[in-house]
Structure 1
Amino acid sequence: MKKKNLNEMSFLDHLEELRWLLVRSTLAIVIMAVATYFISDYLFETIIFGPTRPSFFTYTYFCELSHQIGFADSICITEMPFIIQNTEMEGQVNVFLWICILAGFILSFPYILWEIWKFISPALYPKERKNAKVFIFFSSLLFFFGVLFGYFVVIPMSINFVATFKVSEVVQNQFTLDSYIGMVKTSVLAGGLFFELPIIIFFLTKLGLVTPKFLRKYWKYAVVIILIVAAIVTPPDVVSQTIVAIPMLIIYEVSIFISVLVYKNKIKENV
């Protein structure tokens, strides 16, 4: 059946399109989640619980960096003084399912973007519709970079901080499986979605909801928020906080640059 033009579609038609977008996207996530079942041993042992070991790549790299900048072993990690325990009967089953779903979402993200593009494309100009591949490529690339940033930077920093922080030597750290997995999910998804900020700003500027002037006006507040987030998820040292804050500041600056380009194009089109 021929797809209706945007102007011909009623509100119910839009809802129907949205419903099928959600159905196809959910199906893609489920398929990829099932696929991860076959690599579940590697997924959990190497990826999910990798940051709990001192031999993890990030800890090794930061230790080498510490030596290079003259900090000796100040940020080297030789042990992880905590254990992860399951306190619920169905805890490990629930964790297994949710991690597979998370992996399914990450792996199917480009396809979900394609579905979103198909949904919004009727509202775009013909020349803008031709940029589907560019949109999906850069959006997916930014998302995967954000996921990697959350995994290799935010998670290790967070684990290092909470594992070594003590109010007293009497207290031993014994983290629940749910709290650890929750931190992993939040860090990875937050990283991926934050790195989508340039794409979000692109569309908000196109719609006239955001302007470069607005972003510059609140630049100082954005910097403060980013520094606070970096301070929360990292150990209390300048090096770690800088490593987390710099990529986030760059993403915000890129978003402003994209907003400027889009805003200028809108002005030219209206002249």
Structure 2
Amino acid sequence: MSSPQDDASKDELAGTEQPFVSHLMELRDRLIRALLAVGVAFGVLCLYPGPGGLFDLLAVPLVSHLPQGSSMIATNVLSPFLVPLKITLLAAFLVALPVVLYQVWAFVAPGLYSHEKRLVLPLVVSSTLLFFAGVAFCYFVVFAKVFTFIQSFAPKSITAAPDIEAYLGFVMNMFIAFGAAFEVPVVVVVLARMGLVTVEQLKQFRGYFIVIAFVIAAVITPPDIVSQLALAIPMCILYEVGIWASTAFARYSRAPDADPAENGQGPAA
């Protein structure tokens, strides 16, 4: 015969199993939809322009700066097949990224307050656009300057023939570095909105951030001054954008009953 304590314990746990299972089922459905979006994008890109066409497009900044008659090489037997497929999969993920982020947003949104939703959705959109902007800036601006600078130092006795796997690794590292660097405003806004720092502290930290930006650029970019400046200078500019945006977001996403002083805005006029 069960005791009253056992009955009370069962009553406390009676409503917890089903919501937890329903959350897991919703998470599963969201993941499936995100994977389907990536799969559809991958299939479309395989049809047009195709893995080979995507690799040729990605290789344009380097091939256009190679000496006349030079081309890229593959030192691995499977590289001509695997490397274009990897690039196609990466491109498919980038194309489907808005759908993936929407699934993340749809999963977490029901648990947020209305003022939190006003903060999260703009951050999701802006972080996506900023990442794309960083990748585009790297491809269209930085690569041309870096490869021109490198080829200008190459001895005449050396014929450049880069390996496609090494080039893919280089491109991936640069895309991630510049995409992540362009997320500086989002990081600044989140830190300020969480109350970890104030706008005044961010302004006072400006000089230190400039030093940090140049150190980061020196570590994660090739050892040439062009790519280092191309990464550090945008980071410094985006830090200023983040300071401005953190002030605007603090007002926009403040709870209805929150004190303006809690968001670093000071007392209302």
Structural mapping, 1:202-241, within 5 Å? 202-230=189-217, 232-233=221-222, 235-236=224-225
Aligned residue in 1 for 2:43: 34
Aligned residue in 2 for 1:259: 246
Aligned mate of 1:52, from 51, 62, 66: 62
Aligned residue in 2 for 1:25: 34
Structural mapping, 1:77-226, within 5 Å? 79=67, 83-129=71-117, 134-135=122-123, 137-166=125-154, 172-226=159-213
**How far apart are residue 254 of structure 1 and its match?**
1.2
**How far apart are residue 194 of structure 1 and its match?**
2.7
Distance in 1 between residues matched to 2:202 and 2:46, nearest whole Å: 43
Distance in 2 between residues matched to 1:223 and 1:216, nearest whole Å: 12
1:104-158 deviation line (CA, Å, top 9, x unaligned): 1111111122112112222332255367775554333322212211211233333
| Aligned-partner SS, 1:87 | coil
Aligned-residue RMSD, C-alpha: 3.6
Distance in 1 between residues matched to 2:114 and 2:166, nearest whole Å: 48
Distance in 1 between residues matched to 2:194 and 2:171, nearest whole Å: 34
| Aligned-partner SS, 1:84 | coil
Distance in 1 between residues matched to 2:210 and 2:236, nearest whole Å: 7
Distance in 2 between residues matched to 1:210 and 1:22, nearest whole Å: 34
Give 1:261's aligned amino acid.
Answer: A
| TM-score, normalization by structure 2 | 0.70
Task: Indicate conservation of the 8 Å contact 1:52/1:159, yes or no.
Answer: yes
Gap change, CA 1:233 and 1:15, over 3 Å in 2: farther
Give 1:44's aligned amino acid.
Answer: F
Unmatched tracts of structure 2, length 5 or more? 1-15, 260-269
Give 1:43's aligned amino acid.
Answer: L
Distance in 1 between residues matched to 2:17 and 2:207, nearest whole Å: 45
Task: Indicate conservation of the 8 Å contact 1:146/1:188, yes or no.
Answer: yes
Task: Indicate conservation of the 8 Å contact 2:30/2:107, yes or no.
Answer: yes
1:231-252 deviation line (CA, Å, top 9, x unaligned): 5447446xx7555433222212
Moved more, 124-133 or 30-39: 124-133
1:146-189 deviation line (CA, Å, top 9, x unaligned): 221121123333333444445x7665544221110111122223
Task: Indicate conservation of the 8 Å contact 1:154/1:187, yes or no.
Answer: no
Task: Indicate conservation of the 8 Å contact 2:191/2:197, yes or no.
Answer: yes
**How far apart are residue 266 of structure 1 and its match?**
4.5
| TM-score, normalization by structure 1 | 0.70
